[in-house]
Amino acid sequence: MGKIRPATVLGLAILAAAACGRKGPILEPLTRIPQPVASLAAGQRGATLRLRWTAPATYIDGRALPPDARTEIWLMRNAAAEAALPMAWEDEDEFTAKAVLLSVLDSYGRPLQAGTAAVPPPAAPPLKEFSWEREMTPEDGAAARLVFGVRVAAGRRGASKFAYAGWLPLQAPAPPGGLKARVFEDRIELGWNVPKDAAGTPPRQGFNVYRSSAGGPEVRLNETPVPAPPFADRTFRFGVSYAYRVSAVAGEKEPFIESRDSEALEVTPADSFPPARPKGLISVTAVGLITLSWDPGPETDLAGYRVWRKGPRETGFSLMTPAPISENTFTDDQVEAGGRYQYAVSALDRTGNESGRSEVLTETGKGAGS
């Protein structure tokens, strides 16, 4: 009988140890699933259906999504009553079997066509806040309820869970007309004609006011519906061109349905409003000197002040400061002893608007023996 070598014994021991391990099914590689979208909301503005949502940035394991992540938008039209429709499906295959895929967007909100190669991403980072819209079709209007499902997929790996948003297609209210604006120093006041709604329109809750400017997004200026005109925009800036639109808001409860927009109104407010007249003008005299001071102006666009003087032998006021001074004090060193002097101050803004003059201050020059 041959001898058993130590190396052989060691190998058998290793095999035996491996054979004694716990048995179980073969584990498949972990599939990375994106986080679902957040804050999905549906709305209607005229005949346009709109969705808004916040896109995820990571998989559920916390790793960042790749630039080629895409978002799928699905729609299920249902003729059943609202109470018969769940807003979430445990079996998402059931939802996709009843729904239609409306659109696929890339990470930058651009539509992707089926079978087309991925477009190289732009230099800008992927979008975080998404907005998508489509015109309502006759099939949409005939449904008792629309249910949108939005999910994110990345590469060839799995897709996220659906986020759902429902919408009841209703007759939109009539849009406002006659939009007009008046520019004041502290506000742009908007007015419009209140429309008369057709029969069957949900009760009107008020109006939404929208503003956009060149190179910027459209923003809604009111937090809650404006009950009636006028509306004051107090966040404008002079010299900036704005486009205003107003829509009517209707419905029993939020989210409300909106009318289509009014005609846009272009407004470029010009600053033609002078600063306030300076107040509190006082003086301190010394030999050959009269020093003036006054209350500083409250304006944020104040460029400076002008000081005016009428001397003993002058018939009118002359300007002492050809260039506006920024400080609210001024010393006149061209004073004759015993001479009677009158002073006034005006304020100037950066546009060139000048206030009226302050109240006149009268002072007498002091001599060495005074």
Query: Is residue 33 assigned to a domain?
Result: no
210 and 305 together in one domain: no
Interior angle at CA 145, CA 140 and CA 151, nearest 5: 85
Kindly state whether residues 212 and 240 are assigned to the same domain.
Answer: yes
Q: Are residues 147 and 81 in the same domain?
A: yes
Q: Is residue 370 part of a domain?
A: no
Along the 370 residues of the chain, how does pLDDT read in single tens digits?
444 454 444 444 444 444 444 555 544 445 689 999 999 999 899 889 999 999 999 999 899 998 888 999 999 988 665 544 555 666 788 889 989 999 999 988 889 876 555 566 667 788 899 999 999 998 888 888 899 999 999 876 679 999 999 888 888 899 999 999 999 999 999 999 999 887 777 788 999 999 999 878 899 999 999 999 999 999 999 999 999 999 999 987 777 899 999 999 999 999 999 999 999 999 999 999 999 999 999 998 999 999 999 999 999 999 999 999 999 999 999 999 999 999 999 999 999 999 999 999 999 999 886 6
If asked whether residues 207 and 293 sit together in one domain, one would say: no
At residue 230, what is the residue type?
A: P
- Domain end residue (candidates: 222, 240, 267): 267
Looking at the structure, do residues 236 and 332 belong to the same domain, yes or no? no
Same domain, 255 and 351: no
The span from the CA of 174 to the CA of 204, in Å, is 10
Query: Are 50 and 162 found together in one domain?
Result: yes
- Radius of gyration, CA atoms only, the chain: 37
C-alpha torsion sign, points 86, 87, 93, 97: positive
Among 267, 293, 316, give the residue marking a domain's end: 267
Instruction: Looking at the structure, tell me whether residues 219 and 307 fall in a common domain.
Output: no
Do the domain assignments include residue 276? no
Instruction: With residue 88 as reference, give the H or E element that holds it.
Output: none
- Report the alpha-carbon distance of residue 24 to residue 36 in Å, rounded: 32
β partners of residue 183: 188
Name the domain count of the chain. Answer: 3
Same domain? For 244 and 214 the reply is: yes
Query: For tokens 């095999």, what's the residue?
Result: 15
Helix (H) or strand (E) holding 51, with range, is strand 48-54
| pLDDT at site 251 | 83
Structural domain contains residue 3: no
Domain range spanning residue 199?
Answer: 177-267
Angle at 270 between CA 296 and CA 279, to 5 degrees: 20
The separation between CA 229 and the C-alpha centre of its own chain, rounded to angstroms, equals 22
As a whole number of angstroms, the distance between CA 298 and CA 347 comes to 11
Domain assignment present for residue 275? The answer is no
Asked if residue 51 belongs to a domain, the reply is yes
Domain boundary among 240, 267, 294: 267
Q: Are residues 161 and 191 in the same domain?
A: no
Which CATH number belongs to the domain containing residue 333 in this structure? 2.60.40.10
Position 25 in a domain: no
**Element at 98 (helix H, strand E):** helix 92-98
One domain, residues 251 and 147 = no
- Cα(167)–Cα(163) distance, integer angstroms: 14
Assigned domain for 26 exists: no
* Plot region of 352 (φ>0 → left; ψ -120 to 50 → alpha; else → beta): left
Residue 215 pLDDT: 76
